Structure 1
């Protein structure tokens, strides 16, 4: 299986604060890889550097294929309230002919179970449905790599389970390569083919773990599987050890502000 993403000695600093301390890993084509780490360890910065929203201070990012899409945690701010659901999904496809845009958007909305909501506005939908729109928009772009930054953190537990299962289904049916940043250990084990465990800031790779679970998963039996429970405990122990680096809160907060500022300036 070929590599879809290759990250080599990736590092990033904000002033005198080092957020990422040299990360090297690969994501194979068709894989779903989860990234977990302590709060403030640089997970979101990692995703922004991979996506090209900010320039890394050092290292290389190589993507097979030119298309990638990002789904952020804050789905409400990522959707345009004046556009219909269909219009939001079509938005990244503006360079395509109108007929093709409509077909792709309608297809993606069907994938996420929102075909009947195409003419609604985002504010008329629940939080979970809005995040489905954001996922549909990313899928309509048909990315080589789908990047997700804590995509289910802002929804309730039941909606989170539904969206996790949606992601697994879409990934399976469309052979999508996915990299998910999450702070939730259980989610990383449930979703992932592999889990990358990061240390506290500056982020370094603590472990690259294969997930020994079958491809078909469900929220009840999978989470009670002995392999699931054992891996969850292992990841928790690794985070406990790897996260015990001193975090300068003031520097971290300043770095987060700078990261967001770089992201906004690059996007505009």
Structure 2
């Protein structure tokens, strides 16, 4: 496990949370699948659950409020920013939409929710007491975040303009993909959905697992669905799934192609 307590560099996916109709049901699903311990906050937080691995916060679980009952269950990727208000203004100027304006979350930080021009939803997180995810390279921790879009050129322009990313080309025959780079280091990805893909544009969260096949086999037992079974890639063995309330996520495990990174465990 690699841990971090300092704020993440601006533009880095620094947090992810799940909003669902039944928070308790989600806690049971992900604790069983990913080995989390989820601690619920008080009424002032809407009983928002903080998922931990080895005592370190890695993700959040919240309940969709009654006034937003039509909101689909989903994972949201939050990008670190130094000034949420300034970034929200830049999003609007670049053709995106701010759907939840910047607001303070107690003393934990300042957040906003936005969509890019193609409709992919993401969050902004300006850290206060809470810096974001504090663990990676261990089962149950976030492994990767990527935005899949139907207009790659427009998305690349948008995220480059708003967050100042550099881009590393990882495209190949039949697919277009780039890394989102901060200070020359990949922190996330941007990919193009094929014309016949049934997937909706959006950000995807990957979680580390020690064994992708074992975890994928567990998902149906917990009421979820494996959309794409574990497949080896140069970056690890990956599976795509939907939880028992309909929120999509992915799993990633080290394999012989990727090797095991220093600090794993």
Instruction: Select the structure with the greater relative contact order (CA < 8 A; seq sep ≥ 6).
Output: 1
Instruction: From the CA coordinates, give the structure whose radius of gyration is larger.
Output: 1
| TM-score in same-fold range (> 0.5) | no
Q: When the two structures are superposed, what TM-score results if normalisation uses the length of structure 1?
A: 0.28
